[in-house]
């Protein structure tokens, strides 16, 4: 049975939602949330994603992602797979963490208020879940992007983009007091009736104007019968990896034959493998095959040793005994 089409194109914005398997927790404590945000930062570096808003609950999460390249599928595969592995390792469990496929609604980013509606929904999620008392300000919930929007002077993560959402509220993100303005409108929004407005954000395949939805339906029809994730409209992870390999070989004046003939742990191969691991979402197995570095497990061990070099033995201050 073919899967539902994943719509991908450069510059697409998505409201993504995913829940724990059987409604179970995907975040058991704050350390899990820190691990997820660190993993999110890694995938943004690999894919050039920009995050407009996020909210980490207990058994589900929300992300509003913009993809300058058409790489939602490969990025989400890496993000959810790596976080699951880290969660399982930390809690000494195994198996699925997330429930089936994530939900991805395409958002109209034309500036007509649809990104604002989605961002508000994400930021107000802790209120709807009853995690905040009426007297508590919205920023009292620390595991969403909302407190970072209010921080006019504190540094924000490089992957968090605040200008577009604030712009749809008519707030200049770089002006003094932008955070206070946003807080005022959001606290007022919190008190307003929101159920009817937010219902469309939870169904369908996209959020936007009639013209935007019509364009998406045309796109879906054009992709019908193709691979279930749709056409790849920009370089894939493997294409990016091949480009990085070619650039490294050209810079060093090295041929493909030389690369293949070198031993598995050759320093050039190790540096290149580490770069591919950091800058793309290709698997360790793919890198091992492409660079002739043995099995996946062997390369994984080499990469681990490279990133965790053994500590040098400390010199003892005790006098030596001359026997």
Residue 322 has pLDDT above 50, yes or no: no
Contact (CB, 8 A) for 16 and 63: yes
- Distance CA(106)–CA(251), nearest Å, equals 40
Question: 221-254 pLDDT, tens per residue?
Answer: 565 544 444 333 334 678 889 989 999 999 999 9
Strand arrangement of the beta sheet that strand 103-107 belongs to: 50-56, 60-67, 12-19, 103-107, 206-207
Question: What's the pTM value of the predicted model, to 2 decimals?
Answer: 0.73
Cα angle 44, 48, 49 (rounded to 5 degrees) comes to 60
Q: Is the pLDDT of residue 195 over 90?
A: no
Q: How is residue 282 written in tokens?
A: 């290709």
Q: 292 pLDDT exceeds 60?
A: yes
Residue predicted with more confidence, 297 or 323: 297
Q: What is the pLDDT of residues 31-41, one digit of tens each?
A: 999 999 999 99
Name the DSSP class of 194. Answer: -
The pLDDT of residue 234:
38
Residue whose entry in the numeric block shows the structure tokens 């807080």: 183
Q: Please state, in angstroms and as integers, the Cα–Cα distance from residue 182 to each residue in 78, 116, 266, 320, following that order.
A: 33, 12, 53, 67
- pLDDT, residue 304, reads 86
């Amino acid at each position: 049975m073919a899967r539902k089409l994943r719509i991908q194109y450069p510059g697409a914005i998505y409201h993504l939602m995913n829940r724990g398997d059987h409604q179970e927790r995907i975040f058991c404590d704050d350390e899990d949330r820190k691990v997820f945000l660190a993993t999110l930062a890694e995938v943004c570096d690999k894919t050039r994603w920009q995050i407009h808003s996020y909210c980490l609950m207990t058994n589900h999460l929300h992300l509003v992602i913009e993809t300058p390249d058409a790489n939602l599928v490969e990025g989400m595969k890496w993000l959810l797979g790596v976080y699951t592995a880290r969660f399982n390792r930390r809690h000494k469990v195994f198996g699925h963490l997330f429930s089936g496929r994530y939900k991805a609604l395409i958002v109209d980013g034309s500036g007509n208020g649809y990104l604002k509606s989605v961002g508000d929904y994400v930021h107000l999620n802790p209120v709807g879940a009853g995690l905040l008392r009426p007297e508590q300000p919205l920023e009292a919930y620390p595991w969403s992007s909302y407190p970072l929007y209010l921080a006019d002077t504190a540094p924000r993560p490089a992957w968090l983009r605040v200008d577009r959402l604030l712009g749809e509220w008519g707030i200049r993100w770089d002006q003094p007091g932008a955070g206070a303005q946003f807080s005022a409108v959001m606290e007022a929004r919190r008190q307003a009736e929101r159920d009817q407005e937010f219902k469309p954000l939870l169904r369908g395949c996209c959020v936007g104007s009639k013209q935007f939805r019509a364009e998406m339906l045309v796109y879906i029809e054009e992709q019908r019968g193709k691979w279930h994730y749709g056409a790849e409209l920009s370089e894939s992870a493997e294409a990016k990896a091949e480009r990085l390999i070619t650039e490294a070989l050209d810079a060093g004046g090295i041929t493909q034959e030389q690369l293949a003939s070198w031993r598995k742990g050759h320093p050039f191969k190790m540096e290149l493998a580490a770069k591919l691991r950091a800058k793309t979402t290709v698997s360790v197995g793919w890198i091992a095959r492409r660079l002739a570095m043995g099995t996946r497990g062997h390369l994984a061990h080499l990469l681990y040793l490279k990133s965790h070099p053994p500590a040098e033995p400390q010199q003892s201050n005790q006098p030596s005994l001359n026997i």
